[in-house]
Structure 1
Amino acid sequence: MEEETEIELPPKLIPVFDTHDEDEVALDGARYRGAYGGRGSAKTRTFALMSAVRAYVLAEAGQSGVVLCGREYMNSLEDSSMEEVKQAIRSVDWLDAYFDIGEKYIRTKNRLVWYTFAGLRHNLDSIKSKARILLAWVDEAENVSEIAWQKLLPTVREEGSEVWVTWNPELDGSPTDQRFRKNAPEGAKIVELNYTDNPWFPDVLDQERLNDRETLDDQTYAWIWDGAYRENSDAQILAGKYRVAEFDPGKDWDGPYFGIDWGFSQDPTAAVKLWVFDRRLWVECEAGKVGLENDDIAKFLIDRIPGIEKHTARADSARPETINHVRSDGDGKRNNLPFVEPVEKWSGSVEDGIAHLRSYQEIVIHPRCTEFLKEARLYSYKVDRLTGDVLTKIVDAHNHYIDASRYALQPMIGGNNYRQRFAAMAS
């Protein structure tokens, strides 16, 4: 059976379907598994395939019951995941030989495990009566209501039963988003999966993606391809201030400006290269890595951000020992950034920095700066849990590259701040 158990998955989904026994296809017993993200990520195909693997394992173990494939709306089998499951099974010879596939049914040939397909909006009562649901996979789950989840989950109650969820996020705070992303159950194996994580992403879809990049606004593009929310919160700090475009800096542009935010245990060391021109901020390059040792910082950044070793690079002053280390070449034993300077911080410096970023007519982000772009979409003010009101306090998350940008531009930000302080003192 060793040859039979070879299944190709997108690498990012391997931990989701991991097993502690290398000789088995059996899963590890997690109650919840899932993936969310944009188009072309192979989410649906992979979960369809692994549902068949799960059915195979259960049938081989002598268990009898149902693999329930649900969607919020399903008026007929044409609206279901049936064809996805059939194609997935037929793509693997040993699975194809193990299942009996008809026009309106899929079951193991020993008839112990079979598939059923249902819409959650109008078929919840009939779902509750399904005997022995061993696995419930809900695809296109973004629009599943909280009531549907409350009714569905208790029906999946067999020993060792599982719930799988795949969806394309749309609304920040949807019931599915709240349950399985923001407040994922303990032990759940749920990951973000986008086209960049799909090793089989086809050229025809890539051409469509590139066309969307040129013709759609960033928010719509990000929703389709990058798994971002379609309806963003009013709390987003840079909402409406940025776009994505390729560019080459001109000779008359101001800059370059370099900024570095030092990493900690779980945070990346992040650096950026910026320009200013035509009342716009241009984000040309970025580099970042979690767990970057001090000895390796200079070489890592020099290799990825052209010119950073030849210009002033402004960095977080909270780590003076790191600044001193990166400045030094270790008696010629390592690369160094000789012109790194610590930035000044003051009460309200973060808010002043944000105001400066928003003062540009727009922030233009080069497509290669994917982490900066992600932060531009996610960097937010806090929202009152009870009222939903947007507060003035900033969430300290999704801000490493944005912090590096504030540091890079600090002379301009600080200059304004100094003038304000001097004016207050003189009055």
Structure 2
Amino acid sequence: MKEKKIYLPDIIGRGYGTFWKYRGRYLVVKGSRASKKSKTTALRFIYNLMKYDRSNLLVIRKTYRTLKDSCWTDLKWAAQRLDVADKWEFKLSPLEATYLPTGQKILFRGLDDPLKVTSITVEYGYLCWAWLEEAYEVMDESDFDVIDESIRGEIPSHLWKQWTITFNPWNDRHWLKKRFFDAHDPDILALTTNYKCNEWLDKNDLQLFERMRKNNPRRYQVAGLGNWGVVDGLVYENWEEREFGLDSVTNCVTVCGLDFGYTNDPTAFFIGFYDEANKRLYVWDEFYEKGQSNRDIYERISSMGYAKERIIADSAEPKSIDELRDFGLRVRGAKKGRDSINNGIQFIQDMKLIIHPRCVNFLTEISNYVWDKDRFGKILNMPVDDFNHLMDAMRYAVEPLHRTGLKYNRLGGGL
């Protein structure tokens, strides 16, 4: 093959030299938004797979359905960025990438199907590398212990066994901190990166972080500088993550909520089931995306199979509600009133929340949704305006349940 010479700093930028060269078992990177961690990881894997014959890569996220728009897309971008896209074939069903000259593979799996993670083999070479993206989504350390064993066995001397673990550090109570950042293990390299090492950001991008620094210093520490989020005074502690099926919620009320967003905030859609007899709310599904037009919202809810459900949306956007109705959704605005936020929170606090593991954004928000404090550190009776998009959507969804004079349909019929 004809060699193609490139100067890597021109392609990937600077700030990741140590990351690029490390050969230990665990390469762990927490970082702020726009810190290049995912893009640089993708570039490193495409480069090394082509450089080291017989190497293969396993890419994992908590839920399989999130891989296509994250890791798969980043790796495909990396092949284009390195000008080697013609040497790779990226497939969508199932998600997979193949280095055409040799048949080396990039395989994609979700922890929602653990058997497919632990029983992986490759036809050519060795499964020596793994990438766990958005590792913060994995709430239980034992889930990682299971997949850690998937990278095992003897390998030739030119290869090395390694996990690359990338995430945003929202909560300092997460097991990732103790296991990787508080440990003194020579086989762990734990790094913190932030947007300041990303020379590809333009003036508008930098202004966004500067506004965050001035207006929301708590969020800036995490989303700007990549520091651990200190979580104190959680609004909801009445929840557990547990898989369940529709057969266990047959006597429940279906509830759906929608919080609008676009550029800076995501549109958040919530669907769950309320068990009135046992005061339980089963959190079943979500979508959580920026840049969604009303047409996009309609198509996404329809493709998820929820177009016939009754949806309670943020009443601050009546025009959007009217458009969604015109498209065919059964949606109305929430009946907000005095103390509606606190009333809704109190109602939900009296329930037990059972959260399906696929609701990764819901789990992130509820783990970081906290009461605000005054400048003296006294907790106020109002939550911080952050990590609240799905929290608001849930509140809208259950609003009719704590108002009088409303009748409810059972599972499948909405309110």
TM-score (norm 1): 0.48
Q: Which fold has the larger relative contact order, with Cα–Cα distance below 8 Å and residues 6 or more apart in sequence?
A: 2
TM-score (norm 2): 0.49
